[in-house]
Each structure stands twice: as structure tokens, then as C-alpha cells.
Amino acid sequence: MKVKKLFDKIERFCKKPYMKNEEKRTKLERLISKKIKKTKRDVKSSKNIKEIKEIKKKLKVLKKLYKKVKL
Amino acid sequence: MLKSFFYPLLLISLAYILFINENAQIIITGIAIFLIGMIFMEDGFKLFSGGVLERVLSKTTNNIPKAIFTGFLSASIVQSSSLISVIIISFLSAGLISLSGAIGVVFGSNIGTTTTAWIVSSFGVKINIAVYAFPMIIFGVLLRFSKNRTYTGLGNILLGLGFVFLGISYMKDGFETLKTGFDLSQFAIEGYLGVLVYVAIGALATIIIQSSSATMALIITALVTNQILYINALELSIGANIGTTVTAVIAAASSNSNGKRLAIAHFIFNIVTGVIAILFLYQLADAVTLLASGIGISNDNYAMKLALFHTIFNILGVLIVAPFTNKLEKFLKTLFRDEKTSVLKAKYLDDIVIAVPDAAIKAIKDETVHLYENSIEVISHALYLHRHKYLGSHDISLVVKNSNAKINIDINQFYSQKIKSLYGEIIHFSVLAQENMDENLKNKIYNYKLASRNIVEAIKNITQLHKNLSFYLKSDNRYIKEEYNNLRINIAKTINVINDLKNSKDDIEVLSNLEVLKEDISKLDDLRNNTIDTLIRDNHISTKMATSLINDLTYAHNISKKLIEVATILWIEDKDIQDLGDDL
């Protein structure tokens, strides 16, 4: 896990940031993290297995988006 | 015919007047400069407002009193009732405001434009206004060089205001010199004959000049220099109010039913107001004198008394006509019926909104959505599905399997008659509209054009898919039938998800759902390819069936992909969030 984190840091350092505008980046980060929290709550509250599966897919996408913005 | 005869005649007469009379030359130059100023001011506000005006107008017109106040406030700031009318017509076409709200704004803007008379009478005629005009023109020109849209807009406003002031100054100078050699007041006519003659002159002058504000400036300067009698000036101002509606009605002749309704409402309002003002002219003049002394306007300050009269009779008109707004709305709706919602014609692309960038962008977006809705109709029917049956359904697979009845549709005819013409109109309108836009707005237009192109490509793909679909759905081979049903299910699911997201205001929600959809489509594509391999290996389908299926799988994949791209452009407002989905 630590190695993965280290690689992430190196990747972040080497790659160009996805968004140069700090203000915009922070705004997107905030929006996506808020959505991630909400989606996590939805996973917990949902009782339908099919629905949980769909929400989890969305959660995965949101995490990808967050990572892209954070980079 | 009439125009081709009168227009050259008018130009020749004008050239003759300019040639024989130096004073008339100065006055007419003043009018021309004033009009140029109004044009610059209007252009400036279009750029400067940056959508604020549009937002305010769309949100504050839910009841008639509010709409009247909004119309009044915006027209007094912008100094152009025609700009307000253009925005209102575009909103009316987009269904953002009701007709009664729009009528309210028009009533209010009529009172709002009377502020021009106040500006001219309070500043324009008392002080040497040209002194202020020059710095305004200089700074206006400098600001116009800026690449920033707001500064360019501000530059245009300053330049416009400078020219308006300069125009007034020229008109005043012209009348001052005219006074020494020629006395226009000898033509003053008293009694009701005079009323009618002067009202007609005022209306005619406004029809020729095409601006009631310019006519008002002309009347006030002529009044201040004692070229006309106070009572005749009042009559001329009534005429100017009537004349301005004629130009609005002519302009709306080529507009859609909403534009026509609003122009007629404006016409009825100004005619009613004008008739009341003519009938009670002397009583109103007395009331103005009384009120003027009450608010500190001296009895000999005729220019300000005229401005007060102009405002009062417009307020009176609103008070009398506004209670009948709902009846007027009903009447106008029966007078100009909505054209049948034929997909042949663009619903939102009205030439009148081309000049207002924000309104034009909105019209293009709405029209692209319109194109999308039509394409969904044709795609659904090509898949033998009815939208009301599968949109919103929890079990699309079941709906698709139960909907096998053929729907008679000629996709090529539908495409050439309805989709292609609408697509053409969007492209044509976009090209014209982007001339007045900055880079940011041009990019938006580019995106909408891209969305329209994707829609058209989706239809071209469904045309190809439809040929085999209609053939294999009747096949006795249950495997091939099932595979084609799966294609139908996948496209229907994509359309259904997009349909659910259309009204969402949460851009992240829309994006994440569209990304999930993208992933699903990609996975299903792989899955289907594997299934086809198995079917071929097990001899469940022939080679011919397999090649058809592989091709159609690509078409189905393309349709879903194109529709997702369209949804990303149309239903994600934030450009940064839109771009976030690329190469995820």
C-alpha cells in the first residue's frame, strides 16, 4: 500500500496537473468528494442488490474522476 | 413595391433639404449622430450585460406587476425597448416565460424608455453637453480596442452615450440658428385639428427615423429653442409613441407567432394609450402643470414638463391596459395560433435573436435539444419501440421483448424531410450568430454544432441497423433474434438513462451516470463479441448472419456512443465538468 502511495506521488509529480487553475481544481475536487460521500451513503441505505451494484459502479467512476482532478 | 418607391424618394428629398438649408443639415446630422449613439449603446449592453439581463428578465416575470416593474427598470437602464423585446421574444419562444409576463415587460419597458426624455430635458438642453461627449467618445474608442468582452461592451456604451450627447448638441445648435432666420412656431395649430396633425407628424417622424427616443430628443430641443409650442410638443410626443409601434409591427412581420403576438400587444397598448392621451390632452396638460409645481419643476421649464407628460401618459396607459392583460393574452393566442409542432421547422431559431449572443446561444441549445428529441423518435421507431412504453420503465428488456409489432417508418424520408432540414437550420443560424460572439461563446456554438452532427450520425447508423433488424426479427432462428433483441435493449437503455438525466441540475451526477453508461456499453460490446464467437462455433447462426450481426453491433455501439456525447454537451452546463469525462 505504501509503495502504491509512493508511486502515486511520483506520478503526480511527473505528470502535468490536469487542471492548472487552482480555483477551478478545488471547486471540482469539492464537488466530486461531496458526491462520493453522498453515493457512499446511498450504498449503505439501499436494500436492493441490483441497485447497490449500480451505485457502486457510479462510486467507482466518481473515484476515478476525483483522482483525475487531484492529479 | 411601396418601399422601393418611397425609399429613393425619401433619399432624394433629404438630399435636397440638406443642399438648400444649412440649419436643417445640422439638425439632421444631429439626428444621425444620435441614432448611431443608440446603436452603439444597444450593442454595448448586449456585450456588457454578459447574460445578467437575460437572467433577470427570465426570473422576475412570473406575475404581471413584477413583469411591468422589470420591464421598466431594464428599459430605463439599457435605454432600448427593442433590445428588451428581442430578449423577451427569445424567452417566450423557449417557453421560459408566459405570454402575459412578456406583455407585462413590454408595458413596463414603454415607461422605462421615457427616461430618455428626462435625460435630454434635464442634462441635454441646459448645459453644453458636447463638452461631456468628447471624453466619452475618446474613452469609448480606447475601451473598444480591448479583447475583454465586458470592456468592449463598456466602450460601446460610452461611445454610444457620447454620440447621443453630441447628437443632442447638434440638434440644439441647429434649432438655435434656425430660430434667427425662420420661425417654425408660425405653423402652430391650435384646437383638435392641430392635435391630430401634430400627432400624425410625430408618428411619421418616428417611422422615418425608426426611433422614438431620437424623435423625443428632436421634439425637446425644438421646444427648448421655442421652435414649437408646448402643447404641440405634447401632441408630437403622443405621435412618437404611436409611430414606434409601427416599426415594431413591421419588424415582427417576419418573426414567429410569439414575436407577432408581442408586437400586436405593443401596438394595442400604444394605440389605446395614444387615444386616451389625445382625448384627455388638455386635462393631462393641466395635471402635468399641477404635478410639476408639486415636484419643483418651474412653470416655464417646458422640456421637463414634456418629459413628465410623456411618463404620465405611459403610466396611465399601463394602469388602464394592464388589468386586461390576461384577456389580451387569450385574444393574441387566438389571433396567432401556434404553428403545428411540425419537426420540419426550427422552433427556437428566430432571426430576431441572432444579434443577442446569450439569447442566440440559448436558441441554438434549445434547437439542438429539439433535434435530439426528433432523433429519439426516429431511433425508437426504427427499433420498433414506442417511447411512451419504454422511457421510464424499470424492465426495459421485457418491454423490448414484448414490442415486436412493426412500426411503419421510412427512415430515409424522415431524415431528409425533418432531421436534415433542422440540422441545416441550426448550422445556418450558428454561422450567422457567431459573428457577434467572443471566443468563449464561439466554442459553445462549436459544441452544439458537434452535438447536432453526432445526432445526425446516430440516425445514419440506425438507418443501416434497421435494414437487418427488420429482417432478422422475423427470423425463425431464435439465436439471431435474441441477439438483435439485445441490440435493441442496449440502445433503449442508453436512451432511457439519458432521458432520466435530462432534467438534472447536478452536473457531476449527470457526468458520473454517463460514464457508467459508457463503461457498460463497452463491456457489453466485448460480451456480445464473445457470444457471437460461441454462436458461430456451435453453428447456431450462419456466416452471413454473423457478419450482419458484427456490423450491426458496431452500428449499435456507435449510436449509444454518439447519444452519450450529445448528452454530455447538452446536459452538462459546466465546461470543466464536461471535459472531465474525456479519456477517463
Lookup: cell for B31:
439626428
Lookup: cell for B153:
461592451
Please say if the pLDDT value at position B125 is more than 70. no
CA–CA distance from B84 to each of B71, B89, B282, B321, B556 (Å)?
8, 9, 32, 20, 46
Q: Considering Cα of B39, then B41, then B47, then B52, what sign does the dihedral take? A: negative
On whether any CB of chain B is under 8 Å from the CB of A53, the answer is no
Phi, psi (degrees; rounded to nearest 5) at A33: -65, -35
Residue B575 is predicted with a pLDDT of 83
The rounded distance, in Å, linking the Cα atoms of B67 and B479 is: 63
Please say if the pLDDT value at position B558 is more than 90. yes
Among B506, B515, B577, beta carbon nearest to A61: B515
Contact A62 B509 (CB under 8 A): no
Residue B96 is predicted with a pLDDT of 66
> Chain B interface residues facing chain A, Cβ-Cβ under 8 Å?
506-509, 511-513, 515-516, 519-520, 576-577, 580-581, 584
3-state secondary structure of B59: helix
Lowest mean pLDDT among B106-110, B246-250, B357-361: B246-250
Among B512, B519, B520, beta carbon nearest to A65: B512
Residue B462 is predicted with a pLDDT of 92
The rounded distance, in Å, linking the Cα atoms of B355 and B87 is: 10
Higher pLDDT, B51 or B509: B509
Grid cell 456604451 in the structure block, residue: B157
CA-based nearest residue to A57, from B392, B512, B501: B512
Residue B342 is predicted with a pLDDT of 46
What is the mean predicted confidence (pLDDT) over B451-464?
93
Provide, as residue numbers in chain A, all residues whose Cβ is less than 8 Å from the Cβ of B522: none
Q: Which pLDDT band, with edges at 50, 70 and 90, does B343 fall under? A: very low
Lookup: cell for B394:
424499470
**Would you give the DSSP letter of residue B337?**
P
Lookup: cell for B77:
437602464
Residue B514 is predicted with a pLDDT of 92
Residue B567 is predicted with a pLDDT of 94
Higher pLDDT, B384 or B258: B384
Q: Which pLDDT band, with edges at 50, 70 and 90, does B7 fall under? A: confident
Residue B584 is predicted with a pLDDT of 65
Q: Which pLDDT band, with edges at 50, 70 and 90, does B178 fall under? A: low
Residue B35 is predicted with a pLDDT of 81
The rounded distance, in Å, linking the Cα atoms of B300 and B321 is: 32
Contact B516 A69 (CB under 8 A): no
Residue B34 is predicted with a pLDDT of 82
> Taking a contact as any Cβ pair under 8 Å apart, which residues of chain A between 23 and 42 contact chain B?
24, 27-28, 31-32, 35, 39
Residue B446 is predicted with a pLDDT of 92
Residue B458 is predicted with a pLDDT of 93
| Segment B264-317, tens digit of pLDDT | 888 888 888 888 888 888 888 899 888 888 888 888 888 889 999 999 988 998
Q: How far is B331 from chain A (nearest CA, A)?
A: 48
Residue B48 is predicted with a pLDDT of 64
The rounded distance, in Å, linking the Cα atoms of B436 and B434 is: 5
The rounded distance, in Å, linking the Cα atoms of B7 and B2 is: 8
Lookup: cell for B562:
454518439
Residue B448 is predicted with a pLDDT of 94
Question: Across B53-132, where does the E strand assignment appear?
Answer: none
Cβ–Cβ pairs < 8 A, chains A and B: 41
Please say if the pLDDT value at position B147 is more than 80. no
Helix axes of B191-209 and B212-224: crossing angle, nearest 10 degrees: 130
Q: Answer for the pair B175, B219: CB distance below 8 angstroms, yes or no.
A: no
Residue A49 is predicted with a pLDDT of 87
| Segment A7-59, tens digit of pLDDT | 777 766 666 566 667 778 888 889 999 999 999 998 889 888 888 998 999 99
What is the mean predicted confidence (pLDDT) over B577-584?
77
Contact A57 B509 (CB under 8 A): no
Show Cβ contacts of residue B36 under 8 Å, excluding neighbours closer than 6 positions.
Answer: B160, B163, B167
Lookup: cell for B109:
419597458
User: What global pTM score does this model have?
Assistant: 0.64
Residue A17 is predicted with a pLDDT of 61
CA-based nearest residue to B159, from B148, B169, B151: B151
ipTM above 0.90, yes or no: no
Lowest mean pLDDT among B219-233, B453-467, B503-517: B219-233
End-to-end Cα separation, chain A, in angstroms: 18
- Mean pLDDT, chain B, rounded, equals 83
Q: Answer for the pair B53, B323: CB distance below 8 angstroms, yes or no.
A: no
Contact A65 B509 (CB under 8 A): no
